[in-house]
């Protein structure tokens, strides 16, 4: 198992999230890791800090295990490289960068300690909502382009209203009804 954590900021809002992938088992797909930041639009979904400051420590412990494994892997790869180095000066150069690897690992640790300490860090429902919103937008744009082969991505922008209802803005004449009906959205001719 080689778990990688990827940070993701969608183009539909300003949330920042992360998910994991197992590079040795890609079929398993992306698995929610943490909510780093919640935008104003999704703030109402976020778990608020409790007075007692209680957090989901079991979930944090599981997630820290991924961080510890990543740190160990970074150091191990570095040590393997030192072992493989044939020329003494090459070995010395690598040994000199050990400090940087340790600093990097310490930064990763601090970074995720801060993220996982937030009350909404484990709010997978935010990840799902943001992901669904982003996918719907991508699928609706794809559908509109499929229906109107003369359109490209340059002809379509999007926005969400306060209720997060999607509107596509099209800068050319196009047949919009099928897309509006299929996705329950508004498509507006602009420009």
Q: Are 6 and 18 in contact (CB under 8 A)?
A: yes
Helix (H) or strand (E) segment spanning residue 153:
none
Size of interface with Zn ion, in residues (CB under 5 A)? 4
In the 8-state DSSP scheme, what is residue 61?
H
Tokens of 80: 């393997």
In the 8-state DSSP scheme, what is residue 162?
T
CB of 15 to Zn ion, least distance (A): 3
Tokens of 78: 């570095």
- Interface with Zn ion by CB under 5 A: which range of 36-44, 89-97, 114-122, 173-181? 36-44
Residue nearer to Zn ion on the CB measure, 34 or 151:
34
Backbone φ and ψ of 13, nearest 5°: -165, -175
Longest dimension (CA), the chain: 70
Helix (H, G, I), strand (E, B) or coil at 187: strand
Residue window 115-154: x/- pattern of binding to Zn ion, with contact defined by CB under 5 A: ----------------------------------------
- Check residue 46 for interaction with Zn ion (CB under 5 A): no
- Interface with Zn ion by CB under 5 A: which range of 10-18, 103-111, 147-155, 183-191? 10-18
Q: Which of 9, 19, 21, 39 binds Zn ion (CB under 5 A)?
A: 39
- Check residue 35 for interaction with Zn ion (CB under 5 A): no
Residue nearer to Zn ion on the CB measure, 15 or 170:
15
CB atoms within 10 A of CB 127: 21
Q: Which of 3, 35, 42, 141 binds Zn ion (CB under 5 A)?
A: 42
- Check residue 170 for interaction with Zn ion (CB under 5 A): no
Tell the residue number behind the tokens 């992360």, with chain if given.
Answer: 18
């Amino acid at each position: 198992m080689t778990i990688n954590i990827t940070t993701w900021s969608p183009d539909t809002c300003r949330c920042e999230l992360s998910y994991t992938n197992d590079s040795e088992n890609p079929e398993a797909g992306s698995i929610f890791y943490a909510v780093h930041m919640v935008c104003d639009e999704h703030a109402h979904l976020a778990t608020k800090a409790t007075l007692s400051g209680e957090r989901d420590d079991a979930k944090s412990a599981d997630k820290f295990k991924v961080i510890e494994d990543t740190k160990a892997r970074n150091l191990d790869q570095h040590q393997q490289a030192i072992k493989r180095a044939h020329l003494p000066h090459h070995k010395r150069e690598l040994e000199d960068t050990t400090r940087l690897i340790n600093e990097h690992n310490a930064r990763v640790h601090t970074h995720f300690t801060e993220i996982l300490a937030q009350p909404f860090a484990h709010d997978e429902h935010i990840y799902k909502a943001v992901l669904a919103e982003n996918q719907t937008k991508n699928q609706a744009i794809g559908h509109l382009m499929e229906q109107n082969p003369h359109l490209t991505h340059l002809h379509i922008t999007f926005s969400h209203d306060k209720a997060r209802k999607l509107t596509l803005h099209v800068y050319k004449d196009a047949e919009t009804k099928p897309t509006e009906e299929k996705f329950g959205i508004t498509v507006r001719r602009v420009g």
